[in-house]
A and B are shown apart, each in its own frame.
Chain A
């Protein structure tokens, strides 16, 4: 089934409204970029660390938010030392660390369903030309489709393995996609039969 990156807790950060957390994240990142000064960066890193402590998270969680970018950061660090100096390299790299950690903090303290509720609440206030029912429908369909397509992909791979074609991406994707497109017709009919249109 689908997992999410949320880490349960009962801190003020966990219970804050997703929209506020997003606004704070946006303000945080903009400030770090606009007020480009080492002092801003130090304050930002301290704020991020305080945030993690408040949320009851530890350094390993912060590291997990940064780890996927580590390889690219290492290259950028090296390139900056070569182009500029150690100070600039450290500054640019730590700026990414601050941004990634802060963004990770929002993700760790907010469930996907809280975000979804937030999006739906925003949509309910949206002007009439926004197809809100369709957006809500599309979002909820993906939840159902991911496990479905995953199992269909496995079935196709099993079948093509018998023919020795399981490493051939075209032979895997064509049957899978034709099945997906046929599914689409049936699913759309089923939704319309329940007059959701």
Chain B
């Protein structure tokens, strides 16, 4: 870890915190508003890579835990880790790592399509694989029912994967971080 790595990690922690206050995008067809915050998760992995991306989300969760209202809707403090949907928060760290790892693997031929697939695999499949069992465990709701309850968020997550992929590919062209010898 160089000083530059530390600075990059802290910058993406701050970016993800700032994305929480970006007004949510609402689509007429979707029942739930889309907050921009989980874009930060995809971008931390997709731009910084697995290790730095995951560390930047861990840092965010630590700051949230000590009482800073950095999550969307001004949420923060310890209580966010005890709710029924806390699995999705812990999932951020794993999702950022997974997205970063896959981006590093496919870095040389990274296209908009492969970046989108990476964001869907890490930001949706991995996230739900952690978030939904957590609902089952903490609220005693069977997996299938918990999944149905979460399905309404998937269209928004796909929109975010497309946005993140667009950003990842453009930033790779103009200011690549992962390609440099780490």
Which residues on A are within 8 Å of B, measured CB to CB?
Answer: 2-6, 25, 29, 65-66, 68-69, 72-73, 75-76, 79-80, 83, 88, 92, 96, 99-104, 106-108, 110-112, 115-116, 119, 131, 134, 137-139, 141-142, 145-146, 148-150, 153, 169-170, 173-174, 176-178, 180-185, 187-188, 191-192, 196-197
Contact assessment for B145 and A79 in the assembled complex, using a CB-CB cutoff below 8 Å: yes
- Give the shortest distance, in Å, between A91 (CB) and chain B (any CB): 9
B7-42 interface bits toward A, Cβ cutoff 8 Å, 1 = contact, 0 = none: 111111111011001100100000000001001000
Contact assessment for A106 and B78 in the assembled complex, using a CB-CB cutoff below 8 Å: yes
- Give the shortest distance, in Å, between A105 (CB) and chain B (any CB): 9
- Give the shortest distance, in Å, between A65 (CB) and chain B (any CB): 5
Q: Which residues of chain B are within 8 angstroms of A65 by Cβ–Cβ distance? A: 77, 79
Contact assessment for B15 and A142 in the assembled complex, using a CB-CB cutoff below 8 Å: no
Contact assessment for B141 and A76 in the assembled complex, using a CB-CB cutoff below 8 Å: yes
CB<8 Å pairs between A and B, sample of 9: A4-B69, A83-B141, A92-B139, A99-B79, A107-B77, A115-B65, A138-B9, A138-B59, A185-B4
Q: Tell me which of A25, A111, A138 has the highest count of chain B C-beta atoms within 10 A of its own C-beta.
A: A138
Q: Which residues of chain B are within 8 angstroms of A178 by Cβ–Cβ distance? A: 171, 174-175
A76 to B141, CA, bound (A): 7
Q: Which secondary structure dominates where chain B touches chain A?
A: helix
A66 to B78, CA, bound (A): 11
Given A80-B140, A112-B68, A174-B170, the answer on whether A72 and B83 have CB atoms closer than 8 Å is: yes
B61-77 interface bits toward A, Cβ cutoff 8 Å, 1 = contact, 0 = none: 01101111110010111
Contact assessment for A181 and B6 in the assembled complex, using a CB-CB cutoff below 8 Å: no
Which 9 residue pairs are nearest across A and B when measured between Cβ atoms? A107-B77, A145-B14, A115-B66, A141-B10, A103-B78, A188-B4, A103-B79, A99-B82, A69-B83
A108 to B76, CA, bound (A): 11
Q: Tell me which of B2, B12, B21, B73 has the highest count of chain A C-beta atoms within 10 A of its own C-beta.
A: B12
Q: Tell me which of A148, A173, A192 has the highest count of chain B C-beta atoms within 10 A of its own C-beta.
A: A173
Q: Which residues of chain B are within 8 angstroms of A183 by Cβ–Cβ distance? A: 11
Contact assessment for B7 and A73 in the assembled complex, using a CB-CB cutoff below 8 Å: no
A194 to B173, CA, bound (A): 32
A178 to B170, CA, bound (A): 10
Which of A6, A99, A102 contacts B67 (CB under 8 A)? A6
B155 interface hit (Cβ, 8 Å):
no
Residue of A nearest to B167 (CB): A173
- Give the shortest distance, in Å, between B36 (CB) and chain A (any CB): 7
Which residues 89-108 in B have Cβ within 8 Å of A in the complex? none
- Give the shortest distance, in Å, between B156 (CB) and chain A (any CB): 12
